[in-house]
Amino acid sequence: MSDLLDLASGDQEINITVLQLWMMYLSGLCFDEGKHNIYGFLDPQITQSIGNKKSETQTYITTALKNGGKHIYFAPYIHERHWQLLIISVQDHTAAWFCSLHKKPPAYFKNIIDSAYSGYNMLCGRRTSNAQKLTWMYLKSNRQPQNYECGYYVMQWMLTILQAEIMKGWDKVIPQYNKHFKI
């Protein structure tokens, strides 16, 4: 109940439970709108760095990419109490990084994602020498004015992408939506 009150107040940090519920809502929205085969979600409880082993996180992501069969995966990520969003486009071999403080992902997280993607390619029967690696894009988004809005930004980015059915061209498409997005 306190998580919902935090969300409703709009002036508190969003915790992982609220983000997981939001992703469940978005997953249901995808199903209702016939987009369930396009967009998938990676659990932030497993992708976060605190309490998880690198190998377990990497295996989870590799398996999700292989078994999920989606084109786009949303991976909210929390680092030092700051929510950020990674979008993995399997079709385009792209990792789009959104951060409301305009930070790049931590090197160890980027390494986990790159290794998981390499593992995904191997599971799909692609030799690592021929497999395409992820191209990372660091997108300039709206900058958060306070120190607690990051979770709200992540939630809004996911909703905007789903509603607009964005699947590629992140560097060109997202800036036009940023001007309409206010927290």
Predicted local confidence at residue 126, as pLDDT: 80
Q: Would you say residue 143 lies in a domain?
A: yes
Residue 183 belongs to a domain: no
Give the CATH number of the domain where residue 71 resides.
Answer: 3.40.395.10
Whole-number mean pLDDT of the chain? 82
**DSSP collapsed to 3 states, the chain:** CHHHHHHHHCCCCCCHHHHHHHHHHHHHHHHHCCCCCCEEECCHHHHCCCCCCHHHHHHHHHHHHHHHCCCEEEEEEEECCEEEEEEEECCCCEEEEECCCCCCCCHHHHHHHHHHHHHHHHHCCCCCCCCCCCEEEEECCCCCCCCCCHHHHHHHHHHHHHHHCCCCCHHHHHHHHHCCCCC
* Domains of the chain: total: 1
Q: pLDDT band for 29, please (50, 70, 90 cuts).
A: very high
pLDDT at 132 (0 to 100): 83
Q: Which tens digits make up the pLDDT trace of 64-113? A: 998 888 999 999 999 888 899 999 999 889 999 998 888 899 999 999 99
pLDDT for res 42: 95
Question: pTM for the full model?
Answer: 0.85
**Is residue 181 in some structural domain?**
no
